[in-house]
Chains A and B, each alone.
Chain A
């Protein structure tokens, strides 16, 4: 596992126990060597040398509360931090797609704020492709089967900032619209950084405008180097009809 995949909010998709063990164990081993408290949400986890704490927590706010408590406790207990593996198929009733997306975005924000490492493990036999795609879009990096995913990824930055990478198109524009709506639910000001956003089609541009128009009072700042995006935004007239959106180069 390279260093960029060993910290922060990591999405993992596996199709077998062997693959799960092969990909998750190094992350926990590294955490043990670094002095992190190792936690598994769910019943199972790879066998490693060192203590691993298991908790059964439900998806949703219960997990967020538990994560915050564990980070607090780990600090008092002398750990450097926490490293959590969440077996997403073992954490209670499955969430609807919008709920799953909103939950993963909340989790991403919490992981960033707490400086934790959180690996969300999705077994392909337990989740359909749409669920996996939606869940992975709320992780800054993918691992396992989805590492070469061509969708978009949205993850939290500092303050009211969210980073977006990958590609926005007709297939995932609905998910992007839902992700923006979810991110806007707790603030009136959003900043989007298009980081390595390789492609945005008209459906993606439209999604951005839709959210701004649907949420009165929302201000949106988009920072992008994409000439194509800026040109489309202007050509479609949104520079005039969406004055609450500011496009920065």
Chain B
């Protein structure tokens, strides 16, 4: 994969960079997927004119949880590769307003993209970064996570490129006291469902959101029972506008891409974390020889 960051300052500069990138792909007969904000979609769609054949996706929805973006790109690339068609994309996972937790997970996503397509035919992914609205350290990190950087119509190799996750694995913030705490094994794993449902009943989650959250947390607990030493600890708490749940166990997850690809039908492994990514608004995974912690966040509906 040819993974590049493109730095722009205005909507005009975004369109000026995105338009030739997209048109080059269309001329070559490639499939093109553009996952950016709604205003950017409108601007690029207008610039392309009618009948362009580009697929657009609103990154605010698709990439609300950055942990599920790679899954979308994989499906796009694999599908087109299977059909014998080249492809390219534009994806902007970082926008102003991302929380500190989200930013770290977005930056981990950008590094992991470099590892996610080892066997696929070459394809291009451009990641626009708005330098007028994002902090300087975010732009600096983009230069470290992309082998190619571009701006003002020019592209060059990034001298700072360093696809290493270790700098992006900060300790998770301590959970606030008092957090609900619930040790579990297979014997009481069913009680987790009620525990989570009762806790979330006092929050702003809808019935469907609660169902999704309960299922995600249950599957994380199933992972602990199957792969994390047979037991784990569930903790829950609220942060402004969200409900957070953490499942900790003694297991170790070595694959940094776990949960970022849709499992093959019938697969028995790799489903729990993937489902958590699909069902939740943010997933934070930290794993080492000391154990694994997975935090999942669900955003409350504004009242």
Assess the B190–A232 pair: CB atoms within 8 A. Answer: no
Stretch at the interface among B53-61, B132-140, B211-219, B244-252: B211-219
Q: Which residue of A lies closest to B267 (CB)?
A: A236
Within 8 Å by CB of A170, from B211, B214, B222, B278, lies B222
Across the two chains, which residue of chain A brings its CB closest to B225? A170
> Is A232 a contact of B265 with CB atoms below 8 Å?
no
A150 CB within 8 Å of chain B: yes
Q: What separation, in Å, do the CA atoms of A235 and B208 have in the docked complex?
A: 16
Contact of A241 with B215 in the complex, beta carbons under 8 Å:
no
> Is A227's CB within 8 Å of the partner chain B?
yes
Q: Contacts of A232 on B, CB cut-off 8 Å?
A: 215, 275
A201 & B218 in contact (Cβ 8 Å cutoff): yes
The smallest C-beta distance from A113 to any residue of chain B, in angstroms, reads 33
CA distance A228 to B211 in the complex (A): 7
Partner among B193, B212, B266 whose Cβ is within 8 Å of the Cβ of A209: B266
Distance, CA A167 to CA B215, complexed state (A): 12
Chain A residues with Cβ under 8 A from B263's Cβ? 236
- Closest A residue to B212 by CB, please name it: A228
B272 interfacial contact with A, CB 8 Å: yes
B215 touches A228 (CB 8 A): yes
Determine the distance from Cα of A167 to Cα of B192 in the docked complex, in whole angstroms.
13
Which residues B198-257 have CB closer than 8 A to chain A?
208, 211-212, 214-215, 218-219, 222, 225
A126 at interface (Cβ–Cβ under 8 A)? no
- CB-based contact A169/B190 at 8 Å: yes
Residue from B189, B208, B225, B265 in contact with A237 in the complex, judged by beta carbons closer than 8 Å: B265
The interface residues of chain A lying within 8 Å CB-to-CB of B186 are: 171
- Point out the residues of chain A lying under 8 angstroms from B193, CB to CB: 167, 199
B271 contacts the other chain (Cβ, under 8 Å)?
yes
Complex Cα distance, B26 from A29, in Å, reads 80
Q: How many interface residues does B have (CB within 8 Å)?
A: 23
Complex partner residue of A150 from B190, B219, B271, CB under 8 angstroms = B190
- Among A167, A213, A227, A228, the most chain B Cβ lie within 10 Å of the Cβ of A228
Q: How far is the CA of A182 from the CA of B278 in the complex (A)?
A: 34
- Name the residue on B nearest A235 (C-beta): B278
Residues of B near A167 (CB, < 8 A) are 190, 193
Q: Is the interface of A mostly helix, strand, loop or mixed?
A: helix
Find out whether the CB atom of A227 lies under 8 angstroms from the CB atom of B208.
yes
Complex interface: chain A residues within 8 A of B41 (CB): none
A171 and B271 within 8 A (CB): no
Q: Mark A166-187, 1 if CB is under 8 A from B, else 0.
A: 0101110000000000000000
Residues of the A chain whose Cβ atoms lie less than 8 Å from the Cβ of B262: 235, 237
Contact with B along A220-249 (1 / 0, CB 8 A): 000000111001100111101100000000
User: Taking the nearest CB of chain B, how far is it from the CB of A238, in angstroms?
Assistant: 6
- Could you list some 25 contacts between A and B, CB below 8 A? A150-B190, A167-B190, A169-B189, A169-B190, A170-B189, A170-B225, A171-B186, A171-B189, A199-B218, A201-B218, A201-B219, A202-B219, A202-B222, A202-B272, A206-B266, A209-B265, A209-B266, A226-B211, A228-B208, A228-B212, A231-B212, A232-B275, A235-B275, A236-B265, A237-B264
B residues with a Cβ closer than 8 A to A are: 186, 189-190, 193, 208, 211-212, 214-215, 218-219, 222, 225, 262-266, 268, 271-272, 275, 278
- 10 A-B pairs besides A170-B222, A199-B218, A237-B262 with CB distance below 8 A are A170-B189, A170-B225, A201-B222, A202-B219, A202-B272, A203-B222, A206-B268, A209-B266, A227-B208, A241-B266
